[in-house]
Structure 1
Amino acid sequence: MGDDGRSWHWHEYPVGLGGEVARTGVRTLVAFLIGLASAFVLMMIGGILAEEHLFNDPGLEHAIDDLSRMSAGMIMAFALAAWAAFALATFLRELTTSRALVKAAARGASRYEVPSPEQIVAVTREPATQLTIFGWGNAAMAGILGIIGLGIAVAEGDSSDDVLLFWLLIGYAALMALLGFAGPKWLTPAHERRQALIAANWSSSDEAAAWKRSFRSPGKQRLLYVTPAERLLFAAAVLLVLGFVALQASVTMRCGTAPRPGAQCDEVTYNSFIERLLAGGLVVFAVLLPLAALLAVAGVLVDWRRRRAERAELLAKLAEPRAGRPAEDLLAHHAQRRMHPLALVGAALSGVGLVFGVSAYMVGEGKGLGSEDVFAVYREESLLVVAVSAGLFAAALVGNGIANVRGRELRNELMRRWPTRPAWSAGEDGQVLRAKRGPALHGPRYVKVGKNAGSN
Structure 2
Amino acid sequence: MSADGNQANPWHWYEYEVGLASEIARACVRSLTSFLIGLGCAFALIMGMGLLAEEDLLDDPGLEKAVDHLSRMSMGVLLAFVLVVCAAGAVASFLRESTTSKAIVNAAARGASRHAVPSPDQVRSVTGKPAEALAFFGWANAVLAGPLGVIGLIVVLAEGDDAESTLIFSLVTGYALIMAFVGYASSHLLTPAHERRHARVAAHWTSNDEEQAWKPVEQARRDSAGKKTPPRPSIAKRCLYGAAGLWLGGVLALQMSVLTRCAGGKYECKETTYSSPIEALIAGGVWIFAVLISVGMLLAVIGVLFDWRQRRSERAELRTRLADPGSDRPAEDLLAYHSQRQTHPLARVGATLSGAGLVFSTSSYLVGNGLGLGSEDVFAAYRTESLAAMVVSVGMFAAALLGTGIVNVRGRELRNALMQRWPSPTSWSADSDGKVQRAKRGPALHGSREATVGKNKTSGQR
Shorter-chain TM-score: which interval? over 0.9
Find the counterpart in structure 1 of residue 252 from structure 2: 245
Find the counterpart in structure 2 of residue 400 from structure 1: 404
Asked if structure 2 preserves the Cα contact closer than 8 Å seen for 1:239 and 1:289, the reply is yes
Query: What is the aligned counterpart of 2:82 among 68, 79, 82?
Result: 79
Find the counterpart in structure 1 of residue 270 from structure 2: 265
Q: Read off the aligned partner of 1:390 and give its amino acid letter.
A: V
Asked if structure 1 preserves the Cα contact closer than 8 Å seen for 2:57 and 2:283, the reply is no
- 1:390 paired with 2:394, answer yes
Separation in structure 2 between the aligned mates of residue 166 and residue 62 of structure 1, nearest angstrom: 32
- 1:294 paired with 2:301, answer no
The aligned runs of 1:318-337 (5 Å cut-off) are: 318-337=322-341
Separation in structure 2 between the aligned mates of residue 26 and residue 258 of structure 1, nearest angstrom: 46
Change beyond 3 A, Cα 1:222–1:199:
farther
The aligned runs of 1:10-409 (5 Å cut-off) are: 10-217=13-220, 218-219=223-224, 220=227, 224-256=231-263, 258-260=265-267, 263-265=268-270, 267=272, 269=274, 274-409=278-413
Asked if structure 2 preserves the Cα contact closer than 8 Å seen for 1:221 and 1:327, the reply is no
Find the counterpart in structure 1 of residue 427 from structure 2: 423
Q: Read off the aligned partner of 1:199 and give its amino acid letter.
A: A
Question: How far off its partner does 1:292 sit?
Answer: 0.3
Separation in structure 2 between the aligned mates of residue 275 and residue 57 of structure 1, nearest angstrom: 16
Please list the CA deviations of residues 109-149 of structure 1 after superposition, one character each: whole Å capped at 9, or x if unmatched: 00000000000011111111100010001111221121121
Question: How far off its partner does 1:254 sit?
Answer: 2.3
Give secondary structure in 1 for the equivalent of 2:9: helix
Separation in structure 1 between the aligned mates of residue 47 and residue 396 of structure 2, nearest angstrom: 24
Asked if structure 1 preserves the Cα contact closer than 8 Å seen for 2:426 and 2:440, the reply is yes
Separation in structure 2 between the aligned mates of residue 383 and residue 4 of structure 1, nearest angstrom: 59
Separation in structure 1 between the aligned mates of residue 7 and residue 338 of structure 2, nearest angstrom: 27
Question: How far off its partner does 1:156 sit?
Answer: 2.2
> What is the Cα-based RMSD across aligned positions, in Å?
1.5
Separation in structure 1 between the aligned mates of residue 171 and residue 271 of structure 2, nearest angstrom: 48
Instruction: Normalising by structure 1, report the TM-score.
Output: 0.96
Separation in structure 1 between the aligned mates of residue 197 and residue 229 of structure 2, nearest angstrom: 38
Query: What is the aligned counterpart of 1:434 among 431, 438, 447?
Result: 438
Please list the CA deviations of residues 71-123 of structure 1 after superposition, one character each: whole Å capped at 9, or x if unmatched: 01100111000000000000001001100000000000000000000000111
Asked if structure 2 preserves the Cα contact closer than 8 Å seen for 1:222 and 1:329, the reply is no
Separation in structure 2 between the aligned mates of residue 450 and residue 221 of structure 1, nearest angstrom: 23
Question: How far off its partner does 1:276 sit?
Answer: 3.5
Deviates more, 1:435-444 or 1:142-151: 142-151
Separation in structure 1 between the aligned mates of residue 257 and residue 247 of structure 2, nearest angstrom: 16
Asked if structure 2 preserves the Cα contact closer than 8 Å seen for 1:431 and 1:450, the reply is yes
Separation in structure 1 between the aligned mates of residue 39 and residue 303 of structure 2, nearest angstrom: 21
Change beyond 3 A, Cα 1:323–1:264:
closer
Separation in structure 1 between the aligned mates of residue 143 and residue 256 of structure 2, nearest angstrom: 40
Query: What is the aligned counterpart of 2:447 among 443, 447, 450?
Result: 443
Find the counterpart in structure 1 of residue 3 from structure 2: none
Separation in structure 2 between the aligned mates of residue 305 and residue 140 of structure 1, nearest angstrom: 47
Separation in structure 2 between the aligned mates of residue 179 and residue 41 of structure 1, nearest angstrom: 32
Q: Read off the aligned partner of 2:254 and give its amino acid letter.
A: L
Give secondary structure in 1 for the equivalent of 2:125: helix
Separation in structure 2 between the aligned mates of residue 369 and residue 272 of structure 1, nearest angstrom: 36
Question: How far off its partner does 1:159 sit?
Answer: 1.3
Change beyond 3 A, Cα 1:320–1:292:
same
Q: Read off the aligned partner of 1:216 and give its amino acid letter.
A: Q
Deviates more, 1:162-171 or 1:272-281: 272-281
Please list the CA deviations of residues 379-408 of structure 1 after superposition, one character each: whole Å capped at 9, or x if unmatched: 000000000000000000000100000000
Please list the CA deviations of residues 58-77 of structure 1 after superposition, one character each: whole Å capped at 9, or x if unmatched: 11110000000100110011
Separation in structure 2 between the aligned mates of residue 343 and residue 69 of structure 1, nearest angstrom: 29
Question: How far off its partner does 1:168 sit?
Answer: 1.4
Spell out structure 1 runs of 4+ moving beyond 4 A: 271-275
Question: How far off its partner does 1:161 sit?
Answer: 2.0
Asked if structure 2 preserves the Cα contact closer than 8 Å seen for 1:223 and 1:327, the reply is no
Please list the CA deviations of residues 178-200 of structure 1 after superposition, one character each: whole Å capped at 9, or x if unmatched: 11011221211111110000001
Q: Read off the aligned partner of 1:399 and give its amino acid letter.
A: G
Give secondary structure in 1 for the equivalent of 2:13: strand
Deviates more, 1:143-152 or 1:363-372: 143-152
Separation in structure 1 between the aligned mates of residue 61 and residue 404 of structure 2, nearest angstrom: 45
Structure 2: tracts of 5 or more residues without a match:
1-5
Question: How far off its partner does 1:264 sit?
Answer: 4.1
Structure 1: tracts of 5 or more residues without a match:
none
Instruction: Normalising by structure 2, report the TM-score.
Output: 0.95
Separation in structure 2 between the aligned mates of residue 224 and residue 183 of structure 1, nearest angstrom: 42
Asked if structure 2 preserves the Cα contact closer than 8 Å seen for 1:434 and 1:447, the reply is yes
Q: Read off the aligned partner of 1:311 and give its amino acid letter.
A: R
Asked if structure 2 preserves the Cα contact closer than 8 Å seen for 1:253 and 1:268, the reply is no
